[in-house]
Structure 1
Amino acid sequence: MGRRPEVFVRQVSMAEGQRLQQISRTAKDPVKLRRAIVVLMSAQGQPAPDIAHLLRASEDYVRDVIHAFNERGFDALNPKWSGGAPRRIDEQTRDWICVIARCDPRFLGQPLSGWSLAKLRDYLTATGYVTTISVETVRRVLHERGVSWQATKTWKASTDPDFTTKMRRILHLYDHPPPGGRVRCVDEFGPLNLQPRPGRAWRPQGHPVRLRATYHRDQGVRHMIAALDLATGRLHYRIRDRKRWREFLTFLTTLRARRPDQKLYLICDNFSPHKHPEVRAWCATNHVELVFLPTYASWLNWIEAEFAAVRYFALGGTDHRTHTEQDTAIGTYIRWRNQRAQPKTGFATNSKIRHPDYPFKAA
């Protein structure tokens, strides 16, 4: 039997040669890249056996690529992926899988409070929705239809009958501080006990920071009382052993001393020391107005965001052994933060609470 006649690509123009070179350098699809190399090498006069040996492919594959290029040109370089095997689970069944996944298993007579993928698979096969299905297929069906594994969260609405009036009063103070007055958000942060605190840090994979576990915390707790000055964005604070009305009133006197010529508008929650008769009497005689948040609406207090930053940057990932050490860490962070502080403007500008009809009433 004689040798098969050699097959070469048709004559390639200079422009086609440059295009082939570009594809062979930049193509991301491995099939297109491989076919372009075959055509380019054939155009350079290399026979099919040599190309097959270099690419570790069969000679028949090389000849097929050359014939296809001679017939269809550059379109022959693009892979024509087949549609794959037909789906064994029809669309209606896929819809049912998602419906069942979103159901409480107890509603379907199962002694479970939630589905795992394996238990959902077992229920689908036991009830005849499918003959057989893998856990991975269940996962992909749910993913394709936007059903994801999510944590349950709590939700609490304010029960304050004067919620709207109080909220709008606070937003007005945020947006339009009274001339000759100073708006400050006041709250307590704590308790500051001594314990290893979880945090996040950049570390090599598989080598997280390890903190000790504590079984006895016998050094007591402390509390931070702080005020956020909206005009400057600075935090003022004191750390005390208790957070009674006496400590709160002492803190207010320090705020008063900072701005003796301006009326103070202090936004605070409904914690009982804030409403103590001694505190109210002092405020009435010292040009201080206490502006109370609606019940269960501490998120309206701008200082809450600053407390989250203190918790994250000053305490996250730490394991202080003494209160002095922990107080120093908090103070160092707040001084660093105050050096970079900017006036606070634009509270929740794009939030639904800015809508004139908020809170929306059910139809």
Structure 2
Amino acid sequence: MARKPAPFNLTVNDQLELESWLRTSTLSQNLVLRARIVLALNAGESPKVVAEQLGTTTATVFKWRNRYTEQGLSGLRDAPRPGQPRKLDQKKVKAILDDTVKKVPKESTHWSIRLMAEYAGVSRWQVHQIWKAADLKPHRLKTFKISNDPDFAEKVFDVVGLYLNPPDNALVLSVDEKTQIQALDRTQPKLQLKPGQIERRTHDYKRHGTTSLYAALNILNGEVIGRITQRHRAKEFLDFLRQIDRETPKEQDLHLILDNSSTHKTPEVKAWLEKHPRFKLHFTPTSASWLNAVEGWFGQLERRALYRGIFTSVGELKKAIRRFIQTHNEKLAKPFRWHKSAESIMTSVARAKLSVIDNK
């Protein structure tokens, strides 16, 4: 009488993961075979039957059965090859580093580990280790712009001073507007998230109009005053100032940090400010939106409420924005903390300017 095979059971998570492997078109055939082996064993098949079904040997079935039992899913992948990698001398390492920062490959706008390994005649692992040690990341790209504001230093010290040492009996509000927020709908219903499948949506969309949002971030407690408008002129900015005036304690001065938009400096705005002396405006330098704290909150709004939202009308979009502001103020708001001194900012900017000059 044939012996019954020993019990073999996958965890639910491992089973779902292996099934997702089989749906991946880029998976190596070796991993596909190993996934099929353990899934078949999990279904109750004997090692001999599994070997016959998959066209392999019982020894191979037992090998991957045992590897999974001992190491889990990681045991199904190839173990590191024995032996120490070939060591590179300093001359070769320096050549790779120099090529990374001074040359551009013909096949691409930037280096990848594969391209550099081919050009340098070394392994991909060695390129990875060299770049890691030098903190080089050719695949990454950031944008920057150095402000040419003639009053840059004065404005930086003014704004940073408000963040680090806010005045007594006063509120510091970071103010800005997010314009042209689009109400985007998808052309087909989305495919819902489920085990083994990420949420999906069509790449194309329908536009249903736009709206704008004025926001004032209270750096003391992180709460936001918001106003949704259809346009963003001086008139709308004045209406927002009046709203701030209504919704803040009358006995406190208000220090507003804001950018250099022309709508903030019209004769009508200046006349209103003269009649409301508790409002004191502090302008950030030109091309320095990173100095305005509310920009970070706009980023949260975009990631959490707008980017994956589906809006069939501007009205739906406005409701989502108001809901996010209310939820933020009730559950997420916290004091804003600025950590960089004005002196360190000036040093970084000076270093960036020298770098631009050197690269001309």
Pairwise TM-score range, normalised by the shorter structure: 0.5 to 0.7
Residue aligning to 1:209: 199
Change (3 A) 1:88 1:227: closer
Distance 2:311 2:345 in 1: 47
Distance 1:204 1:315 in 2: 22
Residue aligning to 2:104: 105
Distance 1:322 1:356 in 2: 43
User: Shift of the alpha carbon at 1:316?
Assistant: 3.2
Q: Which stretches in structure 2 are left out of the alignment for 5+ residues? A: 1-61, 63-80, 187-191, 355-360
User: Shift of the alpha carbon at 1:205?
Assistant: 6.8
- Say if 2:300 is the partner of 1:309: yes
TM-score (norm 1): 0.63
Q: Pick from 257, 269, 290: which aligns with 1:299? A: 290
Q: Deviations over 1:39-88 (max 9, x none)?
A: xxxxxxxxxxxxxxxxx9xxxxxxxxxxxxxxxxxxxxxxxxx9836738
Preserved contact between residue 146 and residue 349 of structure 2 (Cα < 8 Å):
no
Change (3 A) 1:286 1:194: same
Change (3 A) 1:360 1:308: closer
Residue aligning to 2:127: 142
- Say if 2:179 is the partner of 1:190: yes
Distance 1:234 1:326 in 2: 21
Corresponding letter in the other structure for 2:237: F
Distance 1:346 1:88 in 2: 47
User: Shift of the alpha carbon at 1:231?
Assistant: 3.4
Residue aligning to 2:6: none
Distance 1:148 1:256 in 2: 48
Residue aligning to 2:7: none
Q: Deviations over 1:299-342 (max 9, x none)?
A: 11111111111112212321111111121112112111111365
User: Shift of the alpha carbon at 1:284?
Assistant: 1.4
Change (3 A) 1:204 1:92: farther
| Deviates further, 146-155 or 286-295 | 146-155
Q: Deviations over 1:165-199 (max 9, x none)?
A: 111111222233333332211110232112269xx
- Say if 2:162 is the partner of 1:162: no
Q: Pick from 261, 274, 288: which aligns with 1:271? A: 261
Q: Which stretches in structure 1 are left out of the alignment for 5+ residues? A: 1-55, 57-81, 125-129
Q: Pick from 232, 240, 253: which aligns with 2:242? A: 253
TM-score (norm 2): 0.63
Where 1:266 maps in the other structure, the secondary structure is strand
Change (3 A) 1:341 1:104: same
User: Shift of the alpha carbon at 1:361?
Assistant: 4.0
Preserved contact between residue 191 and residue 222 of structure 1 (Cα < 8 Å):
yes
Distance 1:101 1:358 in 2: 27
Corresponding letter in the other structure for 1:141: Q
- Say if 2:274 is the partner of 1:284: yes
Where 1:236 maps in the other structure, the secondary structure is strand
Change (3 A) 1:122 1:342: closer
Preserved contact between residue 196 and residue 317 of structure 1 (Cα < 8 Å):
no
Change (3 A) 1:175 1:97: closer
Corresponding letter in the other structure for 2:176: D
Corresponding letter in the other structure for 2:275: T
Corresponding letter in the other structure for 2:125: R
Distance 2:286 2:179 in 1: 20
C-alpha RMSD over aligned residues: 3.2
User: Shift of the alpha carbon at 1:242?
Assistant: 0.3
- Say if 2:342 is the partner of 1:346: no
Distance 2:273 2:282 in 1: 11
Residue aligning to 1:330: 321
Corresponding letter in the other structure for 1:114: H
User: Shift of the alpha carbon at 1:121?
Assistant: 5.0
